Amino acid sequence: MSAAEQADPAGRWADGYCGAVTHLVRALATLPTVDPSTAQQAAKTSSALLGAVVGGLDQSIAGLRALDAPPAPAADQARADMVGRFGGIRQRAQDVRKRIDDGRADPAVTRDALGDARAALDEIAGLNVLKGLQDVPDLDAASKRAPGCQQLTVPAAPR
């Protein structure tokens, strides 16, 4: 650990927090495309998409849980809240994926499950993954110094 990291425990913790949530952000950035050409293809590709979401959530949850004790007590509750939110979304996405996989032969089941898959993705899109840091003044300031957090707040380049 460098002297700078030792001198800035809040910055180090914020960077670790952002590094953990980056797993989900990366998974979302590289999601497979849903192929709606047939009900079977839609089910197959939706299952793959949800599998990628679940994998990203699993990595983010593990990363958040692996963080050392935070430098501010309120940050522990913020981390627990985010782990809980991620865990709830993960469970719903996994449940939808199972329904899709189990119901591939039934277009009605697939159609209903695809709507639920969209709802899970919309829930993720509505998350503010930095809220846990922004609600703790010391960590909010530290997140502005942390390289991992800066990567999450830089606007995407136009395509």
| Alpha-carbon gap, residue 27 to 3, rounded angstroms | 33
User: In the prediction, which pLDDT does 40 show?
Assistant: 84
| CA nearest to 151, candidates 18, 30, 57 | 18
User: In the prediction, which pLDDT does 28 show?
Assistant: 87
User: In the prediction, which pLDDT does 119 show?
Assistant: 87
User: In the prediction, which pLDDT does 102 show?
Assistant: 87
| CA nearest to 54, candidates 111, 110, 120 | 120
Per residue of the chain (159 residues), give pLDDT as tens.
454 455 789 999 999 999 999 999 898 888 888 888 888 888 888 899 999 999 999 999 999 999 999 888 888 888 999 999 999 999 999 999 998 888 876 778 777 878 888 888 888 888 888 888 888 888 999 999 999 898 887 654 444
Tokens, residue 123: 């829930």
DSSP one-letter string for 72-96: SHHHHHHHHHHHHHHHHHHHHHHHH
User: In the prediction, which pLDDT does 19 show?
Assistant: 94
DSSP one-letter string for the chain: --HHHHH-HHHHHHHHHHHHHHHHHHHHHTPPPP-TTSHHHHHHHHHHHHHHHHHHHHHHHHHHHHSPPPSSHHHHHHHHHHHHHHHHHHHHHHHHHHHHHHTTT-HHHHHHHHHHHHHHHHHHHT--TTHHHHTSHHHHHHHHH-HHHHHHHSPPPP-
